[in-house]
């Protein structure tokens, strides 16, 4: 009996020491967390790296859902009304934001457009500039702006700064914490950019083709590549047989051995083009959203981009 009491006392002391250790090591966990809701995965991961323990973070778009077809439910509006900050990527990527904002209490929630200060690439009306930058427009000529701003890492850094400032505005006591985390994370993104510059700066091929929708224009422009997609900006815009024939000819003319396909979409078109030309398939992640498996595994934007670099180096014969 005495031995059991001694063991119990030792266990209680151990728990107490562990608890004290956690409190000393991470005082930010003792503060009430900001409730932050994010629309899509890129801003979710950016906010996660900046806010860390001071933020209660949630993703509006469920893992595994294709973002272009997403429509918020009434329950989403309820959750947004409980938030301190709602972060979305931009009005072109989430056209539904304008409607749901009407149902949010602006006196409580800070509504943050993470694209502030970013100049968008135009799909229509700027073709000469795209050609100058080495980017071909998608074969559909869909009007509007290219919303995939996070795939230019300079834009990603601006988005990080914008999110950091919003967190500080709502939680001024955490200013130094958010500033430190943001600077650390921006260093990681800038190092990622350096890896892309080095890795894609010595490729035999300068053209890459995807069997998906037009998502990688910013990335192509950033690294001096030519990019062509089978779809337009919407994954629902089916390419015509004539457009597929043009892409097939281009694959053969350029001697491309690989065609890329993207996340959360069946690679049916990419497979058709591959069968016609003998090209092989490679995966390219646009980071619009991640699968439930990736979410549970704790993948990150940086990890997704590092895998993209690996596949681009292979597909463009950079090694």
Going by pLDDT thresholds of 50, 70 and 90, the confidence category of residue 32 is low
Going by pLDDT thresholds of 50, 70 and 90, the confidence category of residue 11 is very low
Does the structure show a pLDDT above 50 at 51?
A: yes
pLDDT tens-digit series, residues 127-176: 333 333 333 333 333 337 999 999 999 999 999 999 999 999 999 999 99
Contact assessment for residue 263 and residue 290, using Cβ atoms and an 8 Å cutoff: yes
pLDDT tens-digit series, residues 56-73: 999 999 998 888 778 888
Q: How do strand 226-229 and strand 280-283 relate by DSSP bridges?
A: unpaired
Does the structure show a pLDDT above 70 at 12?
A: no
Helix residue spans in the chain (DSSP H)? 2-25, 41-51, 74-81, 97-101, 127-133, 153-170, 175-200, 217-222, 241-254, 268-277, 292-297, 301-315
Burial of 45 (0-12, 13-18, 19+ CB in 10 A): buried
Does the structure show a pLDDT above 50 at 44?
A: yes
What is the SS3 string spanning 262-276? CCCCCCHHHHHHHHH
**Which fold is adopted by the domain 31-125+148-193?**
Rossmann fold (3.40.50)
CATH architecture of 202-315: 3-Layer(aba) Sandwich (3.40)
Chain region(s) in the chain for CATH 3.40.50.1980 = 31-125+148-193, 202-315
Percent of the chain whose pLDDT exceeds 90: 62
Beta bridge partners of 259: 281
Q: Does residue 317 come out as left (phi exceeding 0), alpha (psi in the -120 to 50 range) or beta? A: left
Contacts of 124 (CB under 8 A, 6+ apart): 141, 142, 143, 144
- The CA angle 291-296-301, to the nearest 5 degrees, is 65
Provide the mean pLDDT of the chain: 83
What is the rounded CA–CA span in Å between residue 287 and residue 271?
21
Higher-pLDDT residue of 291 and 233 is 291
């Amino acid at each position: 009996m005495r031995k059991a009491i001694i063991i119990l006392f030792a266990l209680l002391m151990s728990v107490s020491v562990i608890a004290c250790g956690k409190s000393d090591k991470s005082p930010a966990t003792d503060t009430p967390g900001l409730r932050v809701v994010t629309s899509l995965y890129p801003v979710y991961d950016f906010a996660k790296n900046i806010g860390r323990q001071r933020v209660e973070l949630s993703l509006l778009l469920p893992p595994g859902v294709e973002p272009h077809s997403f429509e918020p439910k009434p329950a989403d509006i309820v959750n947004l009304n409980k938030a301190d900050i709602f972060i979305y990527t931009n009005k072109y990527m989430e056209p539904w934001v304008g409607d749901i904002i009407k149902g949010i209490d602006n006196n409580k929630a800070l509504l943050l457009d993470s694209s502030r200060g970013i100049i968008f690439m135009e799909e229509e009306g700027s073709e000469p500039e795209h050609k100058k930058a080495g980017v071909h427009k998608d074969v559909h000529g869909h009007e509007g702006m290219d919303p995939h701003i996070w795939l230019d890492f300079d834009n990603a850094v601006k988005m990080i700064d914008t999110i950091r400032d919003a967190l500080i505005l709502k939680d001024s006591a955490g200013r130094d914490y958010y500033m430190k985390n943001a600077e650390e994370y921006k260093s990681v993104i800038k190092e990622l950019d350096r890896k892309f510059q080095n890795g894609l700066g010595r490729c035999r091929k300068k053209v890459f083709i995807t069997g998906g929708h037009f998502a990688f224009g910013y990335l192509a422009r950033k690294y001096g590549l030519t990019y062509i997609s089978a779809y337009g900006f919407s994954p629902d815009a089916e390419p015509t047989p004539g457009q597929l024939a043009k892409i097939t000819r281009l694959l053969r003319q350029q001697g491309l051995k690989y065609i890329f396909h993207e996340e959360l979409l069946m690679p049916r078109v990419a497979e058709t083009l591959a069968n016609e030309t003998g090209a092989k398939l490679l995966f390219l992640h646009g980071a619009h959203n991640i699968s439930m498996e990736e979410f549970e595994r704790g993948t990150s934007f940086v990890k997704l981009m590092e895998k993209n670099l690996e596949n681009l180096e292979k597909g463009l014969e950079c090694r």
